[in-house]
């Protein structure tokens, strides 16, 4: 059967092991060819081909549910459930999602995008099945970096003690997060791998030893294990631990899953895989360069990304102030590799543990250490309580670099950076800023670390900066005022922050508005002096915000106006309360009526 003819996974049950192995070869070849053309998660998907084939062989989706943690490693599942013909649209507007997606298939039974949710979802699934008196197994597929997340442990704690429900957790251990896995549990997994007979040894003995001796040897091994080997952490938590086995050996995967299937107890099935398998560079990648790749045929990016220039500025800052950096598993994405190598004593990758990172940052700040917490806008939400209670309430001077703020493009709804402004806005003491240009960047970084005493947020978008910046020409400098006029005119007042200001500039030019354009680089507190001046300049005020609309700049301006008797007409353009899906940044702006054309229409209606 050709891959392109696959409609659903039922065909797989009739294949022999040889045919399944051939299927794995074909799928891997397809992924190797297809992902570079569209961009997407390369390494994780190359590592799960055999596992997903074996799962579909032994279990019956959708009656049995595969619950992928994050959902970035499920391309083979998409292929086996009849979606290969859409792979040329992967992550593009109206195309195939890069993650598990409820709208795409009945086989997609858990959608998250954020790490650490699969075991909780597994528990929900098996409890629901029991209540509805339905059959069906739940199988969570969790990576070795995601299983150490706090949520995973909270769920494992309960599932392990639950005698009435059983769930299967496949621990896909490739020793990698996006970059190397970190922490004590990663060390414990290494220990488990080496304490048991290693996979290579097993294969070696398998080749050398006749079957009978191998069985005797197996008994001897079990006897020795009972004598000398302590249980591992999973057994201590009440699970049946199975493994580790080679996660690329389809025969062994199937044999083991068949044994696991009828068990009554919850199982941790530990498989060892190679991230990036089949791609020579991805296989040896230890920094995460091949975790997710961009479209290799696309236009090469010109200049530097916001993440790069912020990282360079933090590096520059070290001549003025020694800063401690807490990194929640995103060294590669936030471009902090150089800092991590240059200042290893002041840099800690804490893994996928955003909540822990926030509280640790609060404690460092309490000891008067200058602390920087770079975190993607979408993942900052994970640490809502810790940021609110430990940082904001107690007014600790932690500086947040909120990366991927605004529309993120191809990753889609689970990754949009549209809620951070509202989240931080409802917290006491937090100052929220966004640079528009080089001048803003230099003064906001300086101000945030050198002049501020409050929790301080510098948010910046995904994508490239519109200005030239190298290490040498960053000149960090004190702040000169809060808001800035980009131009003053006799027309309406247009306000925004960050690179979105370019849309307002373009609208002003196209419509010949002679507008006053304000760079509200402090979203909170607002600049009352400049706002006063502006409200007196013209009665019409238009505010553009690339965020969900709950608690952005708009309500702050309205509040100020109400308290000070202003009656100006004010109009806001934001993403409102919509769930914003995936596609190129440009397409998404257009789709949600946030692009230049839509702004012009709104302005025409408003003015
Ligand atoms: C809460 C949260 N923080 C960070 C991320 C970004 N992220 C996506 S995949 C990934 C690494 C996952 O590693 P692992 O679970 O071992 O799976 P692998 O990709 O190695 O198969 C990270 C950090 C995320 N999705 N969710």
Written as one string, the DSSP assignment of 540-594 is EEEEE-SS-STTSHHHHHHHHHHHTT---EEEEES-TTPPP--S-HHHHHHHTT-
Domains of the chain: 59-72+97-279 (3.40.50.970), 306-473 (3.40.50.970), 484-606 (3.40.50.920)
DSSP state of 230: P
Cα–ligand 1 centroid distance for 182 (angstroms):
12
State phi, psi for 503 to the nearest 5 degrees.
-65, -40
**Mutate which of 76, 172, 178, 402 for ligand 1 pocket (most atoms within 8 A of beta carbon):** 178
DSSP 28-57: HHHHHHHHHHHEEE-HHHHHSHHHHHHHHH
In angstroms, how far is CA 532 from the centroid of its own chain? 40
In tens, the pLDDT along 522-576 reads 999 999 999 999 999 888 999 999 999 889 999 999 999 999 999 999 999 999 9
**The two structure tokens encoding residue 326:** 């807490």
pLDDT at 278 over 90: yes
Positive/negative CA dihedral, 408, 411, 412, 416: negative
Dihedral of the alpha carbons of 475, 443, 520, 566, in degrees to the nearest 10: -140
Per-chain mean pLDDT for the chain: 94
Sheet-wide strand order for 522-524: 347-349, 323-327, 370-376, 398-403, 456-459, 431-433, 522-524
In tens, the pLDDT along 402-422 reads 999 999 999 999 999 999 999
pLDDT of 225: 59
* Interval 237-256 mean pLDDT: 96
Cα–ligand 1 centroid distance for 155 (angstroms):
17
| Of 178-192, 304-318, 548-562, minimum mean pLDDT range | 178-192
Specify the residue with its C-alpha closest to ligand 1, atom 14: 143
- Of ligand 1's listed atoms, the one at least distance from the Cα of 113 is 25
Specify the residue with its C-alpha closest to ligand 1, atom 12: 177
DSSP state of 451: I
In tens, the pLDDT along 457-498 reads 999 999 999 888 887 889 999 999 999 999 999 999 999 999
Specify the residue with its C-alpha closest to ligand 1, atom 15: 143
Half-sphere CA count of 167, side-chain side, radius 13 A: 32
3-state secondary structure of 482: coil
Beta bridge partners of 169: 140, 268
| Catalytic residue set | 275, 354, 382
In angstroms, the first-to-last Cα distance of the chain is 61
Closest by CA position to 469, among listed 335, 304, 307: 304
State phi, psi for 472 to the nearest 5 degrees.
-70, -35
| Angle, vertex CA 242, rays to CA 265 and CA 61, nearest 5 | 70
Specify the residue with its C-alpha closest to ligand 1, atom 19: 44
| Angle, vertex CA 575, rays to CA 573 and CA 580, nearest 5 | 160
Residue 318: CB atoms within 10 A of its CB come to: 14
- Of ligand 1's listed atoms, the one at least distance from the Cα of 174 is 20
Question: In the structure, what pLDDT confidence band is assigned to residue 198 with cuts at 50, 70 and 90?
Answer: very low
Length of the chain equals: 607
DSSP H or E segment with residue 284? helix 280-284
Top-confidence residue, 604 or 185 = 604
Rounded Cα–Cα distance for residues 276 and 281 (Å): 8
In tens, the pLDDT along 159-177 reads 999 999 999 999 999 999 9
Closest by CA position to 238, among listed 170, 163, 328: 163
Strand pairing class (347-349; 168-173): unpaired
pLDDT of 315: 96
DSSP H or E segment with residue 122? helix 118-131
pLDDT of 19: 97
Rounded Cα–Cα distance for residues 586 and 595 (Å): 8
pLDDT of 508: 98
Closest by CA position to 288, among listed 31, 41, 115, 100: 41
In tens, the pLDDT along 364-408 reads 999 999 999 999 999 999 999 999 999 999 999 999 999 999 999
In tens, the pLDDT along 209-236 reads 556 565 666 666 666 555 555 578 999 9
Say which residues have a Cβ less than 8 Å from residue 453's Cβ, sequence separation at least 6.
395, 397
Cα–ligand 1 centroid distance for 146 (angstroms):
6
Residue 601: CB atoms within 10 A of its CB come to: 11
**The two structure tokens encoding residue 169:** 């957790």
Beta bridge partners of 372: 325, 399
- Of ligand 1's listed atoms, the one at least distance from the Cα of 147 is 15
Beta bridge partners of 485: 518
Q: Is the CB of 174 under 6 A from ligand 1?
A: yes
Q: Is the CB of 91 under 6 A from ligand 1?
A: no
Half-sphere CA count of 200, side-chain side, radius 13 A: 2
Specify the residue with its C-alpha closest to ligand 1, atom 17: 143
Closest by CA position to 82, among listed 6, 193, 171, 11: 6
Rounded Cα–Cα distance for residues 378 and 548 (Å): 12
Q: Is the CB of 44 under 6 A from ligand 1?
A: yes
Q: Is the peptide bond before 62 cis (omega within 30 degrees of 0)?
A: yes
In tens, the pLDDT along 49-91 reads 999 999 999 999 999 999 999 999 999 999 999 999 999 999 9
Say which residues have a Cβ less than 8 Å from residue 88's Cβ, sequence separation at least 6.
34, 37, 38
Specify the residue with its C-alpha closest to ligand 1, atom 11: 177
Q: Is the peptide bond before 297 cis (omega within 30 degrees of 0)?
A: no
Q: Is the CB of 379 under 6 A from ligand 1?
A: yes
- Go through 329-366 and write b for each residue having 16 or more CB atoms within 10 A of its CB, e for each that does not: bbbbbbbbbebbeebeebbbbbbbbbbbbbbbbbebbe
pLDDT at 97 over 70: yes
**The two structure tokens encoding residue 117:** 């949710």
**The two structure tokens encoding residue 172:** 């896909």
pTM, 2 dp: 0.93
Rounded Cα–Cα distance for residues 279 and 40 (Å): 14
pLDDT of 515: 97
Dihedral of the alpha carbons of 381, 385, 390, 395, in degrees to the nearest 10: 70
Cα–ligand 1 centroid distance for 466 (angstroms):
30
> Measured between alpha carbons, how far is residue 72 from residues 95, 188, 536, 540 in Å?
16, 25, 51, 45
């Amino acid at each position: 059967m050709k891959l392109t003819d696959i409609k659903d996974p039922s065909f797989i049950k009739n294949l022999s092991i040889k045919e399944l192995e051939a299927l794995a070869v074909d799928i891997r070849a397809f992924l190797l060819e297809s992902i570079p053309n569209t961009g997407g998660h390369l390494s994780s998907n190359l590592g799960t081909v055999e596992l997903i084939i074996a799962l579909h062989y032994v279990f019956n989706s959708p009656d049995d549910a595969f619950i992928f943690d994050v959902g970035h490693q499920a391309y083979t599942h998409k292929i086996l459930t009849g979606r290969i013909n859409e792979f040329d649209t992967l992550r593009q507007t109206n195309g195939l999602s890069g993650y598990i997606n409820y709208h795409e298939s009945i086989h997609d039974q858990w959608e998250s995008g954020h790490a650490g949710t699969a075991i909780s979802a597994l528990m929900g699934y098996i409890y629901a099945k029991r209540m509805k008196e339905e059959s069906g197994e739940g199988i969570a597929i969790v990576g070795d970096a995601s299983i150490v997340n706090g949520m995973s442990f909270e769920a494992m704690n309960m599932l392990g003690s639950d005698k009435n429900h059983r769930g299967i957790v496949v621990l896909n251990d490739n020793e990698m997060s996006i970059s190397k896995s970190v922490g004590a549990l990663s060390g414990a997994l290494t220990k488990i791998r080496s304490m048991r007979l290693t996979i290579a040894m097993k294969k070696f003995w398998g080749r050398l030893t006749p079957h009978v001796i191998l069985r005797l040897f197996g008994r001897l091994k079990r006897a020795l294990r009972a004598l000398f080997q302590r249980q591992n952490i999973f057994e201590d938590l009440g699970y049946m631990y199975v493994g580790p086995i080679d996660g690329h050996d389809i025969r062994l995967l199937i044999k083991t899953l068949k044994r696991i299937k009828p068990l009554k107890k919850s199982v941790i099935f530990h498989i060892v895989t190679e991230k990036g398998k089949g791609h020579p560079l991805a296989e040896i990648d230890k920094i995460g360069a091949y975790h997710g790749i961009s479209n290799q045929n696309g236009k090469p990016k010109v200049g530097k990304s916001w993440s790069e220039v912020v990282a360079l500025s933090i590096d520059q800052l070290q001549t003025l102030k020694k800063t401690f950096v807490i990194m929640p598993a995103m060294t590669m994405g936030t471009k902090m590799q150089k800092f991590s190598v240059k200042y290893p004593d002041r840099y800690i990758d804490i893994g996928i543990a955003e909540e822990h990172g926030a509280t640790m940052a609060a404690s460092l700040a309490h000891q008067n250490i200058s602390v920087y917490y770079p975190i993607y806008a979408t993942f900052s939400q994970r640490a809502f309580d810790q940021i609110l209670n430990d940082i904001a309430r107690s007014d600790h001077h932690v500086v947040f670099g909120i990366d991927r703020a605004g529309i993120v493009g191809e990753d889609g709804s689970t990754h949009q950076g549209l809620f951070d402004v509202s989240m931080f806005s409802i917290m006491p003491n937090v100052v929220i800023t966004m640079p528009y240009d080089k001048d803003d960047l230099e003064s906001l970084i300086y101000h945030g670390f050198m002049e501020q005493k409050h929790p301080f947020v510098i948010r910046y978008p995904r994508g490239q900066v519109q200005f030239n910046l190298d290490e040498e020409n960053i000149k960090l400098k004190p702040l000169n005022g809060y808001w800035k006029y980009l131009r003053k005119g006799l027309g309406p007042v247009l306000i925004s922050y960050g690179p979105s200001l370019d849309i307002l500039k373009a609208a002003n030019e196209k419509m010949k508005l002679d507008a006053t354009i304000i760079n509200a680089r402090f979203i909170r507190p607002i600049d009352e002096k400049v706002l006063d001046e502006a409200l007196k300049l013209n009665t019409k005020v238009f505010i553009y915000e690339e965020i969900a609309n709950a608690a952005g700049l708009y309500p702050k301006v309205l509040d100020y106006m109400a308290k000070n008797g202003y009656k100006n007409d004010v109009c806001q353009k934001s993403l409102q309360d919509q769930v914003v899906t995936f596609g190129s940044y440009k397409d998404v702006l257009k789709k949600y009526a946030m692009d230049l054309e839509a702004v012009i229409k709104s302005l025409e209606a408003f003015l």
